[in-house]
Structure 1
Amino acid sequence: MSDETTIPADGAKPAMTKEKRVRADAQRSTDALLEAAKKVFATSGVDAPVREVAERAGVGIGTVYRNFPTRSDLIAGVFRREVDACVAEATTLANTHPPCDALSLWLHRYTQFIATKKGLASALHSGDPAFATLPDYFRENFEPALAALLNQAADAGDIGGDVEPYDLLRAIGNLSVASGADGAAHIRRMVDLLIQGLRYNGSAP
């Protein structure tokens, strides 16, 4: 018997299999939980009741524990999801904007990741072994994404070609420590100044 999917005579695509629907539903549930957890952690801290996360996600508390048996699993899941989302945006921006604009927009997007990471800092620095692999996950994903943006901008003559991705990631992190009512605006101005310096190092006016 052939393993190929039978295509209806009218050419219509076969309906999604039950297994695919289950996987898609499970992924949506996981995404909803992680998004809810990110928002709860930002407002109530990483020690917020798990029930608060479940309520925000619109699921039962049992669903939370099936997906993330421990609080550490949930925190690590939020971190990885935010890394993945930020990295994916680097590709999107590179495909839709001129090189230096893509780099500038992504560096500002990266400050949003830093803001989320600050909300998780107390847990991430707790020494919990569940978080031991996260620094490597950070570098293995962010450095290639930023390197691609830097290379494109350098090839276009917008910036110099001697910028190390990790140095720039650390610099943005150091600039993103401001807090208070004007903290976000201050961070944006400082990142803009850094980008101007990168452009000055190239041939861009």
Structure 2
Amino acid sequence: MADEAERPLRADARRNRDKILTAAVRVFAAHGLDAHLERIAKEAGVGSATLYRNFPTREALVEAVYRNEVANLCEAAPALLAEQPPLEALRAWTRLFLDYVTTKYGMIDALRAIAATGNSPYGHSREMIQVALSALMDACVAAGTIRTDISPTDMAAALEGIALTSAGSEHRQQAERLLDLTLDGLKTGA
């Protein structure tokens, strides 16, 4: 089985897996643990057998969605820095962080259940996020746009606090206002 997991997927199999993960994010965010795997398969445009071939259990799907969301969030940092000035890249990334937390919030009970079995879906996610945030903040410091006395750890705590108190689409505007307030406070001369 380990050899099967390490073997690269064919292009069509990879597309199906990606479609399942994308659909699962939407369905889990909307329905949480009540999400039916058949609904995810239908929204992904694949059959149930394809879903179960990729993810034999609900827990395997939840863990894969979570890991994929962390990877997407972290991979966005260098891409944003390549496309935008550092402060705007940081601002855009904080919005992606809210999306990530909203997705995670929809799956939190499932993630806790997985963690209770001894299989931590979190792995190195906190460290990966910290590295991405550090790269963004370092670029801002180098550009002279943010203060140097705020650490990435402090900023991560602020982001987590905003996300936890404002999780959910009904609080999105408030969360974005709080992010703007926090980012304004980071600016040099603030």
TM-score interval (norm. to shorter): 0.7 to 0.9
Question: Structure 2: how far apart are the matches of 1:130 and 1:98?
Answer: 42
Structure 1 pair 23–140 and aligned structure 2 pair: CA distance change class (3 A): farther
What letter is aligned with 2:24? Answer: A
Give the drift of 1:75: 0.3
What is residue 78 of structure 1 aligned with on the other side?
Answer: 65
Are 1:185 and 2:176 counterparts? Answer: no
Q: Choose the corresponding residue for 1:198, options 167, 182, 186.
A: 186
Q: Choose the corresponding residue for 1:47, options 29, 34, 59.
A: 34
Are 1:93 and 2:80 counterparts? Answer: yes
Structure 1 pair 35–57 and aligned structure 2 pair: CA distance change class (3 A): same
Percent identical: 35
Question: Structure 2: how far apart are the matches of 1:55 and 1:133?
Answer: 25
Give the drift of 1:179: 5.7
- Larger radius of gyration between Structure 1 and Structure 2: 1
Matches within 5 A, 1:113-124: 113-124=100-111
Tell me the TM-score normalized by structure 1: 0.80
Are 1:112 and 2:99 counterparts? Answer: yes
Tell me the TM-score normalized by structure 2: 0.86
Question: Structure 1: how far apart are the matches of 2:83 and 2:93?
Answer: 12
Judge which range, 111-120 or 160-169, deviates more: 160-169
Deviations 1:70-110 (A, max 9, x none): 11110011111111111122111101111111111111221
- Native 8 Å contact 1:150 1:163 kept in 2: no
Judge which range, 154-163 or 121-130, deviates more: 121-130
CA RMSD of aligned residues (A): 2.2
* Higher helix proportion: 2
Aligned residues, how many?
A: 182
What is residue 14 of structure 1 aligned with on the other side?
Answer: none
Are 1:138 and 2:125 counterparts? Answer: yes
- Native 8 Å contact 1:175 1:190 kept in 2: yes
Question: Structure 1: how far apart are the matches of 2:94 and 2:80?
Answer: 11
Are 1:38 and 2:14 counterparts? Answer: no
What is residue 4 of structure 2 aligned with on the other side?
Answer: none
Long gaps (5+) in structure 1: 1-18
Question: Structure 2: how far apart are the matches of 1:26 and 1:180?
Answer: 32
> Secondary structure at 1:45's aligned position in 2?
helix
Give the drift of 1:181: 7.4
Long gaps (5+) in structure 2: 1-6
What is residue 143 of structure 2 aligned with on the other side?
Answer: 156
